[in-house]
Amino acid sequence: MLTAISMSAIATNGVVPAGGSYFMISRSLGPEFGGAVGMLFYTGTTLAAAMYIVGAVEIVLTYMAPWLSIFGDFTKDQSAMYNNFRVYGTGLLCVMGLIVYLGVKFVNKFATVALACVIFSIIAVYAGIFNNIDGNDKLFMCVLGKRLLKDIAVDNCTKEAGGPLYNIFCEDGGECDPYFKEHNVSLIRGIKGLRSGVFFDNIFPSFLQEGQFISYGMDPDDIEPLDRPSYNQVFADCTTAFTILIGIFFPSVTGIMAGSNRSGDLADAQKSIPIGTIGAILTTSTVYLSCVMLFAGTVDNLLLRDKFGQSIGGKLVVANMAWPNQWVILIGSFLSTLGAGLQSLTGAPRLLQAIAKDGIIPFLEPFAVSSKRGEPTRALLLTLLICQSGILLGNVDLLAPLLSMFFLMCYGFVNLACAVQTLLRTPNWRPRFKYYHWSLSLIGLTLCMSIMFMTSWYFALIAMGLAVLVYKYIEYRGAEKEWGDGIRGIALSAARYSLLRLEEGPPHTKNWRPQILMLAKLNDDLTPKYRKLFSFVSQLKAGKGLVVVVALVKGDFTKLSSEALAAKQSVRKTMEDEKVKGFCDAMVASNIADGLSHVVQTIGLGGMKPNTVILGWPYGWRKNEDDARTWQVFLQTVRNVSAAKMALLVPKGINFFPTSSDKISGNIDIWWIVHDGGLLMLLPFLLKQHRSWKNCKMRIFTVAQMEDNSIQIKKDLKMFLYHLRIEAEVEVVEMMDSDISAYTYERTLMMEQRNQMLRKLRLNKREKENVVQAIVDHHHHIENNTKTASKVRFADPSENKDIFNDDDREEKNETESEKDKDTKESEQDKDGGAANNNENSEQLPPPPQPTANNVASPGKKGSSGGDETPKSPKKPDQANVRRMHTAVKLNEVIVNKSHDAQLVILNLPGPPKETNVERESNYMEFLEVLTEGLERVLMVRGGGREVITIYS
């Protein structure tokens, strides 16, 4: 009844087409749950038809025409009965299949005749009970003491010596059974009538253990075998309990879904399903309960517990009670089983067709076809084949418990669907049937699950295992469906709750994970330019966490909205190909730098905001001499990320990184120059969780000065790693205060000459040659200000120091007018570097080695101004020399130690605070020098917080 109430609520919440219970569950709980339960329900309904057909054959052979047996006496040979089931069952299935093939209208006409016979049989039972109110003499039982005997004719129920009973209990005239000697035998009427008062004997439980004798009362002397032979005494063939009785009774109520299974053929399913189902349950429940009470008041206690009627020769008790004749009951039972079988064979194909039409199980798609008359002919043929397999099994009792589990799972999920929809309070949940409540549905679900395990826990687990297999298959192979199901609603509610919880505060260091924002660059055809970056993100995601990939399209959103959608779909496809689980989006911005700034500031929702940005290295920053600011977007994004307190990862040489299917071995070298909150330690650990990097070993290098205690530094670092539970080799590299080499001077001079050339080209393009001389004078003015060389040291993240960035100690000698010019040009050229802002192209060859010729060549290449061309300065800026010296020396050490490493991870120095073109160009050149000669480099800049802890 609880299931019927839940089903009525779902059925009246909109149109219910073909599929019935499957449609209700799938649209409420999603295609996976609906398909899994629907397939099990289909299998159960089909095999139930086999049970009904075998039951009809058994009624005919056992009670109506035993002479029809073609395999001998089936009462003595059980296999003979099974063979009869196979032969007659197959013939009956063909007839019933033909009836179903003719159409639902023909089935309904036959169902009307069968229903009339069933109703007449029920009336005959009630009439017989009251007609035999004082009992009758049709059935007698032979009882020894209080024990029930079998296979004894009424005339032979005596203890006379030499009689059949005496010969059974006294073997070869020897010692007789003690119980036989101590008790007398008697004939007891099986049908005593309502006036006999037998009702009070039957009202109390009489459950027995396997092997105990059926007797009056529960006296151990009467029910216990006491290691003696059972002779012809009736005993319990299994342990009985209330749960067993529930399992026996339940198949009689499995027809409540018959109407919903044919929902596509109903004129008004929303009206017919609730009224028909609830009305049928009330009627049948009344009949069942009243018959139970009336049988308890009419039939003797021993005969009620005689499972197979062995004490009365296997006769049908209810048939011997009916009025006017037992044939009314036999014919009614036969037609009842046929009618139930026809209903199953009618509903099962339509259920299979509904599943096939939804396309959630690909191999079922051929069964979605209907005939010209609208009948699911193909589905019917498959149903008949499955039903025939059940009939050929012979002993369908083996399948009965499993089928009950299939039905119970279906009923349970109908209750769950109603409860979920009610609790979620979705706007679309407006059922016309108002007499429901979520608590009733949950009670119904609990009862279904309880009955499953009470009846047979191992069959319950088998049914659940089959449901899980179908669920996972649909999830893996089935088509994605968006039906607005309740599971999606639960996911949204859970996500909302979790986001609100995350908003309460930042995550603890132990829970910190790289929540990644990847900035993807697009080709002209709006496809991602560098797939290896997606592979790297997938490998880093072995540590779980959030991934958001954003691509930017330059232009006006009102004009390029379709291009943005195409870009998003292209990025999504790349993510699927590279198995990156996360989210993606495409944004249109008139200015790439501003667009990236907006993304960094606003990406995420509540506490689920990315904390790590992956930004590609702009390889083409030195290629385009017509535009000297191809690095501007890159540097501006680095500044924005730092301002947002987010970590930054810049892979260099991304095309040499492994794909997710590659397996590499070797070393991952971490050059720990500046403490960044432990991010340098955590990243290689996360990478090693992926199969591609699993076989690599970690090596940590730290740099010390000559005056530092290298032994103590190494000891402390080893202890720190031990507490972090990270396995890695530790090496301390000592850097000497060597003199600045000529190569450093030449490399710095080449860098500055290139800056002069690029500035002149840009000014010539704008017809501002008159400013060139001012630039040269300004450069010579700076040249006179020298600085002492700085050292590479550890820095606290709170101090925000970098190995190449000493802006706080430099003199500000630039004139105000020059600053204005740089600022003005910066505003005009902001979009110049958009094409190379955030992704990676092919690895550039290393810069040419400085010689006297190529040092002077930039000046020559820029001599387009005739006599106004300035001469190259003879001595470079000392601040630039100091930074270049640091980069060159550190690069020498890194290349010497890590030239064969699979990956080198090192600190990314902060960008210059000044935004003039020389400082920014110099910064990029320093980074090129620092990573020169290294194939795979990952530059890392922390977000200003600790991301790893020694505590549990």
Q: What is the pLDDT of residues 9-43, one digit of tens each?
A: 887 877 676 666 777 777 777 788 888 888 888 88
Read off the pLDDT of residues 142-186 as tens digits, 9 standing for 90 and up.
Answer: 999 999 998 888 888 888 888 888 888 887 666 888 888 888 999
In this predicted structure, the answer to whether residue 596 has a pLDDT above a threshold of 80 is: yes
If you average pLDDT over residues 647-671, what whole number do you get? 87
Residues 322 and 419 in one domain: yes
Amino acid at site 582: G
Please indicate, yes or no, if residue 141 is contained in any of the structural domains.
no
**pLDDT for 113 beyond 60:** yes
Closest C-alpha to 227, from 177, 166, 183, 172: 177
- Are residue 525 and residue 638 in the same domain, yes or no? yes
Predicted pLDDT at 749? 56
Domains contained in the chain, number: 3
Is residue 517 domain-shared with residue 429, that is, in the same domain? Answer: no
Given a cut of 90, is residue 340 above it in pLDDT? no
Give me the mean pLDDT over the 79-96 stretch: 90
Both 10 and 83 in a single domain?
yes
3-state SS class at 935: coil
Within 13 Å and on the Cβ side, how many CA atoms surround 137? 2
Q: Does residue 739 have a pLDDT over 60? A: no
The DSSP-derived string for 892-915 is HHHHHHHTT-SEEEEEPPPPPSS-
> What pLDDT is stored for residue 805 in this prediction?
47
Confidence of residue 381 (pLDDT cuts 50, 70, 90): very high
Q: Report yes or no: 338 and 52 within 8 Å, Cβ to Cβ.
A: yes
Closest by CA position to 781, among listed 749, 812, 738, 754: 812
pLDDT at 386: 93
Q: What is each CA distance from 462 to 46, 459, 465, in whole angstroms? A: 18, 5, 5
Asked if the structure places residue 156 within a domain, the reply is: no
Give the least confident one: 78-82, 227-231, 762-766: 762-766
pLDDT score, position 475: 78
Which of 700, 704, 735, 739 is CA-nearest to residue 720? 700
Given 455, 476, 491, which residue is the final one in a domain? 455
pLDDT tens per residue, range 492-504: 777 777 777 766 5
pLDDT at 108: 80
Could you tell me which residue, 691 or 252, shows the higher pLDDT?
A: 691
Closest CA to 637 of 807, 429, 349, 830: 830
Q: Is residue 474 part of a domain?
A: no
| 719, pLDDT greater than 90 | no
Which pLDDT value is given to residue 780? 38
pLDDT at 264: 63
Q: Is residue 521, in this structure, part of any structural domain at all?
A: yes
Instruction: Quickly tell me which residue has 């492994």 as its tokens.
Output: 658
Per-residue pLDDT, averaged over 778-800, amounts to 37
Count CB-CB contacts under 10 A for residue 587: 17
State the average pLDDT over residues 68-97: 86
Q: For residues 121-137, b (16+ Cβ closer than 10 Å) or e, as one string?
A: bbebbbebbeebeebbe
Judge contact between 610 and 550, C-beta under 8 A: no
- Rounded CA separation 765/757 (Å): 12
Q: Is residue 927, in this structure, part of any structural domain at all? A: yes
- The H or E element that residue 579 is part of is none
Question: 660-681, pLDDT tens digit by residue?
Answer: 888 888 889 988 877 776 788 8
pLDDT of residue 125: 92
Rounded Cα distance, 88 and 398, in Å: 19
Alpha-carbon dihedral 371, 373, 377, 383, rounded to 10 degrees: 150
Where residue 391 sits, what CATH number does that domain have? 1.20.1740.10
> Quick check: 813 pLDDT over 50?
no
Q: Does residue 702 share a domain with residue 649?
A: no
Give 830's pLDDT tier (boundaries 50, 70, 90): very low
First and final CA of the chain: distance in angstroms?
A: 53
Query: Are the C-beta atoms of 412 and 41 separated by less than 8 Å?
Result: no
Q: Is the pLDDT of residue 62 over 90?
A: no
Two tokens at 552?
């930017």
**Together in a domain, 582 and 675:** no
User: What pLDDT score was predicted for residue 816?
Assistant: 39
User: Do 295 and 411 have their domain in common?
Assistant: yes
656 with 527, same domain?
yes
**469 has a pLDDT exceeding 80:** yes
pLDDT digits 0-9 by tens, 845-874: 333 333 333 333 333 333 333 334 444 444
Above 90 in pLDDT, residue 407? Answer: no
Instruction: State which of 641, 660, 679 marks the end of a domain.
Output: 660
Predicted confidence band of residue 128 (pLDDT cuts 50, 70, 90): very high
Residue 385 banded pLDDT, cuts 50, 70, 90: very high
Are residues 648 and 681 located together in one domain of the fold?
no
Q: Is 534 helix (H, G, I), strand (E, B) or coil?
A: helix
Averaged over 236-256, what is the pLDDT? 79
Percent residues over pLDDT 70 in the chain: 77
State mean pLDDT over 741-751: 54
Residue 313 included in any domain? yes
Compute the average pLDDT of residues 402-410: 84
The mean pLDDT value for 106-129 works out to 87
Greatest mean pLDDT among 21-30, 436-445, 916-925 lies in 436-445
Averaged pLDDT for residues 98-102: 88
The pLDDT confidence band at residue 797, using thresholds 50, 70 and 90, is very low
Element (H, E) at 546: none
Q: Is 173 helix (H, G, I), strand (E, B) or coil?
A: helix
Which residue has better confidence, 857 or 635? 635
165 domain residue, yes or no:
no
**Residue 841: which region, alpha, beta or left (left: phi > 0; alpha: psi -120 to 50)?**
beta
How high is the pLDDT of residue 766? 47
Quick one: average pLDDT of 513-525?
85
- Distance, in Å, from the CA atom of 146 to the CA atom of 180, rounded to the nearest integer, reads 11
Which whole-number Å values give the CA distances from 352 to 376, 475, 817, in the listed order?
9, 18, 82
My answer on whether 565 and 620 are in the same domain is: yes
Beta-sheet strand order (sheet of 937-941): 583-589, 547-554, 516-520, 612-614, 647-652, 937-941, 903-907, 665-672, 695-705, 729-735
CB atoms within 10 A of CB 540: 24
Q: What is the pLDDT of residue 836?
A: 36
Q: Is the pTM of this model over 0.75?
A: no
Helix (H) or strand (E) run with residue 733 in it: strand 729-735
- Least confident range from 200-204, 604-608, 743-747: namely 743-747
Higher pLDDT, 536 or 255: 536
The position carrying tokens 């930054």 is 648
pLDDT for res 626 = 44
Q: What is the structure's pLDDT at 265?
A: 64
The pLDDT of residue 822 is 42
d(CA 255, CA 410): 12
Domain boundary among 455, 479, 494: 455
Instruction: Tell me whether residue 291 is in a domain.
Output: yes
Nearest Cα to 907, choosing from 648, 661, 716? Answer: 648
Percentage of the chain exceeding pLDDT 90: 12
DSSP 621-655: GGT-TT-TTTTHHHHHHHHHHHHTT-EEEEEESGG
**Per-residue pLDDT, 427:** 74
* Residue 760, domain extent: 663-780+879-951
604 shares its domain with 684: no
906 and 939 in contact (C-beta within 8 Å)?
yes
Residues 266 and 400 in one domain: yes
Inter-axis angle of helices 438-455 and 457-477, nearest 10:
120
